[in-house]
Amino acid sequence: MARTKRFDEEEVLDKAMQFFWHKGYNGTSPQEILDELGLSRSSLYDTYGDKRSLFISALTRYRNTVTGNILELLATAENVPETLKSLFIISKNNCFVNEDKRGCFMVNSIMELATHDEEIAEIVKENREALENGFTGAIKRGQDLGQISKENTPRSLARFIMNNLWGLTAHSKSGADKKVFDDIIRLTMSMLK
């Protein structure tokens, strides 16, 4: 008779996502993962496979939840500049959780693993392309509504915004403070006028 699982797989994936987001892949030992997730070794390996497979599942969970929420917000934005500004502010707040400079899980994964792992690189690439398309659509709508200048194409503005957004999250890991974020957010938003 098979044993039943005594844990919620999505809840465990959320914990794994937060854990890897904070510690990174190389900064975690299998025992730390087990302790953090409250799983036995057999439960972890039977459900998620090895550490790398769990990391990929957590990164995919991030793509489906965090990025998915951003895409939904962009698709439904009525005031596009305000929505873009709020995304920068949310990102700033996420980078400084309890004064822990954790950056962005996707950007951290680029820096740590994507250059050496094709599967992770593909997840990051797909995530970036989805975000770029979401930003492009929102900016086009903002231009059509007269909320954003038409001096630049929607695609080029989307790339500029993403570069600044992802750059800020990487910059937070280097010790940049919230004032740096505020300056860059202000200048980035000025490009939309």
Domain with 136 in it: what CATH number? 1.10.357.10
Confidence at residue 1, expressed as pLDDT on a 0 to 100 scale: 43
Residues in the chain, pLDDT under 70: 1-7, 97-100
pLDDT tens by residue, 70-102 = 999 999 999 999 999 999 999 888 877 666 677
pLDDT of residue 99: 62
pLDDT at 14: 94
Classify each residue of 42-59 as buried b or exposed e, where b means 16 or more C-beta atoms within 10 Å of its C-beta. Answer: ebbeebbeebeebbbbbb
Q: Is residue 148 part of a domain?
A: yes
Q: Quote the number of domains for the chain.
A: 1
pTM score over 0.85: yes
Q: What residue numbers bound the domain in which 128 lies? A: 9-190
Burial 103-115 (b: 16+ CB within 10 A, else e): bbbbbbbbebbbe
Distance CA 193, CA 182 (A): 17
Domain assignment present for residue 56? The answer is yes
Please indicate, yes or no, if residue 1 is contained in any of the structural domains.
no
